[in-house]
């Protein structure tokens, strides 16, 4: 295990981004330099992250791959929300997922009903969408 260090960020430069293929979330990588003399790549969910802003006092370690792992920042109040977003623990993140899930169920139900059907069949749209939504919800909860 690498040693946890405390230092102040002296420079932070955006270098690249990566899209997680599962969650579709973007991770922005920065080249971070500290007053302790460390230079490493650090990933955040914000392109201009307050966690690694110049002047922020951070606790971190550098893993064997040369990546900086942040443990805390002097800007931790804002950082707590960022960490919740990464983990998907906050209500905002769950609502986004539920909205996408609902949109998918509604769209799929519409496609099933409308494909080759008449307007009389549209009455079934709400019923089919709710059923699809409920069934996928059960699957996602492991039922």
The pLDDT tens digits for 32-91 are 999 999 999 999 988 888 889 999 999 999 988 889 998 888 877 664 665 565 555 555
Residues 6+ apart with CB under 8 A from 126: none
Residue 35, pLDDT score: 95
Phi/psi for 141 (5° steps) reads -90, 0
Q: What is the CA radius of gyration of the chain?
A: 22
Residues 128 and 110 sit within 8 Å (Cβ to Cβ): no
> Is the separation of the CB atoms in 41 and 17 below 8 Å?
no
On whether the pTM is more than 0.85, the answer is no
Q: Classify residue 4 by its DSSP letter.
A: P
């Amino acid at each position: 295990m690498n040693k946890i260090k405390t230092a102040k960020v002296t420079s932070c430069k955006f270098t690249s981004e990566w899209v997680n293929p599962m969650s579709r979330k973007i991770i922005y990588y920065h080249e971070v330099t500290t007053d302790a003399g460390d230079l490493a790549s650090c990933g955040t969910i914000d392109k201009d992250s307050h966690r690694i802003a110049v002047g922020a006092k951070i606790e971190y370690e550098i893993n064997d791959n040369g990546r900086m792992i942040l443990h805390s920042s002097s800007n931790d109040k804002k950082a707590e929300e960022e960490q919740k977003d990464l983990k998907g623990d906050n209500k905002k993140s769950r609502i986004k997922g539920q909205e996408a899930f609902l949109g998918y169920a509604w769209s799929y139900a519409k496609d099933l009903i409308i494909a080759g059907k008449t307007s009389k069949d549209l009455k079934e749209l709400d019923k089919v969408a709710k059923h699809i939504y409920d069934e996928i919800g059960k699957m996602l909860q492991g039922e």
